Amino acid sequence: MSLLVVGLSHRSAPVSVLERAALSADAQVKLAQDIVSAEPAAEAAVLATCNRIELYADVDKFHAGVAELSTLLAQHSGVGLEELTPYLYVHYEDRAVHHLFSVACGLDSMVVGEGQILGQIKDALARGQELHTAGRLINDLFQQALRVGKRAHSETGIDRAGQSLVSFGLEQLADGADVAGWVAGQRALVIGAGSMSSLAATTLARLGVRELVIANRTLDRAEKLAASLGALGQGSVRAVPMSAVPEELAHASAVVSCTGATGLVLTAEAVADALAVPEGASAVMVGSVVADGALRAPDGSLVARLAETASRDGRVRVRDLGGRPAEGGDPGCPVGLDEAHTSVTAGDPAQHGVWMENAGGTAVIAPRQAVRHRSGSVRMALLDLAMPRDIDHAVHRVPGVRLVDIESLADASADAPMAVDVDQVRDIVAAEVAAFGAAQRAARITPTVVALRAMAADVVAGELARLDGRVSGLDEKQRGEIQQTVRRVVDKLLHAPTVRVKQLAGEPGGAEYADALRTLFDLDPETVASVSRADMNDRETDAENRGRS
């Protein structure tokens, strides 16, 4: 059996393909189970993050394994095999080990040196153990990858040089400003309470965000996260259900979203509506209509300016949504006809929204401060770390909005300087790959050596039984001395050959030595196989115990 990796990542595929190929948690489970059900694979694990999908399997045939894994990935992702194939990469045996170790060290990440991938590798291993799709090879491989990743971060400066995807995203949102200073003045909304969203919330809290709101479908999880972050004492932290997102969005200046949703969480219309709510207002927006029944004209619209002019004559009372009289209009033409309004027309639904009849009430038109396009002030900064995306890409066309998503992060990271310790980490990876390969090759001969020693023990036991029958009158002390002497002779005869064969087995082509031992000593193949199965069961039990501890 040999290790095979088939996958695609931000390095091989555009974000648009990654987004379509993204796997839900249930799809990952089913995919892992289907892999081990396929003929070429004995064990498997699925590593899926926001910028990679990789299938790891122990296969007995390379070409059959590649074909099967590629087909299954296409089936479960919903992207046709012909379309997916040009973006796939394949690694085999030592190259597959090298790839995972590099991934664990952050060398293959969008942000070189980031440490979040270690948690994602740990989750992939835990899922494989729970599903019993991870056998001896996958367990050994992923556990060693975690150790290699930790070593790289502790022995080199890549840990200091690398950023998390969250930190890198916040840096892009700050657009050149000091990130801590920029965050400190924000009212942030984090949507989701999974690992990435939790990291985002934690990062914002530690940077001293002014106010932090966490929205999640499972409110209890959001509340637990909010309670833990509230203990930091950096600012106001609270949890809300997902149904409260429209209202919270109206008060937020920074939004981070990373959920497992398959559809959009925030549409361009929802963001535009949120920006239309005056600061300090608490009305919930439905389309462009205020929930308290009041009518509102969008900022800068002809209707709003006419209303301001009419209010000066006492014909219409103009108030903002907080109930305060609106400030007077600018001098000049009362309705602003002396300004350029090429992008605003009275019949433009995108500018005016939906109007409702106000039965029997006085029209209350709420003017809003002017919103400039991205080239001007940014009133809402959005960071979308989900795959597939949570936030409609069209929001970048909404005035006053800055959007950073996986696609823009990929572009920005391509220009980012490499950490100075990358070469040192690569040396660590190369050494660890060689050590892992030697250990795996040596491990393959262990069942044969164990079977050889078991056969020798059986021979010794049989001969001692014959001795008891032929020589009478031996007391217990004498019998014990004879048994120890015979066993020491056998152990000494086997010691040097078995130690040497393990050393030789660690070298390329070492599997031939196991074959030679089985042939020379006429070892029962079933005995060797039973030792292998027992060893695998022991390893799986140890791995599960470590996972629970």
pLDDT single digits (tens) 349-374: 332 232 222 223 333 323 323 333 33
- Which segment, 76-85, 333-342, 433-442, 538-547, is predicted with the most confidence on average? 76-85
Is 397 strand, coil or helix?
A: helix
Q: Name the residue with higher pLDDT: 443 or 414.
A: 443
**E strand or H helix at 523, and its extent?**
none
Instruction: Say if residue 65 carries a ligand binding annotation.
Output: no
Q: How far apart are CA 82 and CA 251, in angstroms?
A: 46
Catalytic residue among 50, 105, 258, 333: 50
Q: How far apart are CA 499 and CA 505, in angstroms?
A: 10
Give the model's pLDDT for residue 465.
86
Q: pLDDT of 293-305, one tens digit each? A: 334 445 554 445 5
Give the model's pLDDT for residue 38.
86
Instruction: Say if residue 49 carries a ligand binding annotation.
Output: yes
Give the model's pLDDT for residue 541.
52
Give the model's pLDDT for residue 423.
87
pLDDT over 80 (residue 394): yes
Q: Name the residue with higher pLDDT: 382 or 323.
A: 382
Preceding omega of 388 cis (within 30 degrees of 0): yes
Concatenate the DSSP letters of all residues of 194-241 into one string. Answer: SHHHHHHHHHHHHTT-SEEEEEESSHHHHHHHHHHHHTT-SSEEEEEE
Give the model's pLDDT for residue 263.
87
Give the model's pLDDT for residue 115.
84
- The contacts of residue 194 (CB under 8 Å, 6+ apart) are 258, 259, 260
Does the global pTM surpass 0.75? no
Is 391 strand, coil or helix?
A: strand
Give me the CATH topology for the region 165-277+376-416: Rossmann fold (3.40.50)
Instruction: Say if residue 512 carries a ligand binding annotation.
Output: no
Instruction: Say if residue 115 carries a ligand binding annotation.
Output: yes
Instruction: Say if residue 343 carries a ligand binding annotation.
Output: no
- The contacts of residue 62 (CB under 8 Å, 6+ apart) are 2, 4, 92
Counting every residue written for the chain, the total comes to 549
Instruction: Say if residue 196 carries a ligand binding annotation.
Output: yes
pLDDT tier, 414 (very low <50, low <70, confident <90, very high otherwise):
low
Instruction: Say if residue 529 carries a ligand binding annotation.
Output: no
Q: For the packed helices 219-230 and 195-206, what is the interaxial angle rounded to 10 degrees? A: 30
Give the model's pLDDT for residue 246.
93
Q: Name the residue with higher pLDDT: 231 or 249.
A: 249
Please say if 105 is a catalytic residue: no
Q: Name the residue with higher pLDDT: 120 or 475.
A: 120
Give the model's pLDDT for residue 160.
60
pLDDT over 60 (residue 497): yes
Concatenate the DSSP letters of all residues of 349-374 into one string. Answer: HHHH------TTS------------T
pLDDT tier, 273 (very low <50, low <70, confident <90, very high otherwise):
very high
We find that the CATH architecture of domain 2-162 is 2-Layer Sandwich (3.30)
- Which segment, 230-239, 378-387, 452-461, is predicted with the most confidence on average? 378-387
pLDDT over 60 (residue 241): yes
Instruction: Say if CB 387 and CB 51 are below 8 A apart.
Output: yes
How do the domains of the chain map onto residue ranges? 2-162, 165-277+376-416, 428-532
Q: What is the mean pLDDT of the chain?
A: 78
Burial environment of residue 115 by CB neighbours within 10 A (0 to 12, 13 to 18, 19 or more): buried
Burial environment of residue 90 by CB neighbours within 10 A (0 to 12, 13 to 18, 19 or more): middle
Instruction: Say if residue 192 carries a ligand binding annotation.
Output: yes
Radius of gyration of the chain (CA): 33
pLDDT over 50 (residue 436): yes
Average pLDDT over residues 113-135: 93
Instruction: Say if CB 304 and CB 298 are below 8 A apart.
Output: yes
Average pLDDT over residues 504-512: 71
User: Among residues 520, 467, 473, which one has the least CA distance to residue 498?
Assistant: 520
Least confident of 63-77, 208-222, 375-389, 524-538: 524-538
Instruction: Say if residue 506 carries a ligand binding annotation.
Output: no
User: Among residues 208, 188, 196, which one has the least CA distance to residue 255?
Assistant: 188
pLDDT over 90 (residue 135): yes
Instruction: Say if residue 194 carries a ligand binding annotation.
Output: yes
Q: pLDDT of 73-110, one tens digit each? A: 999 999 999 999 999 999 999 999 999 999 999 999 88
Is 423 strand, coil or helix?
A: helix
Least confident of 212-216, 356-360, 502-506: 356-360
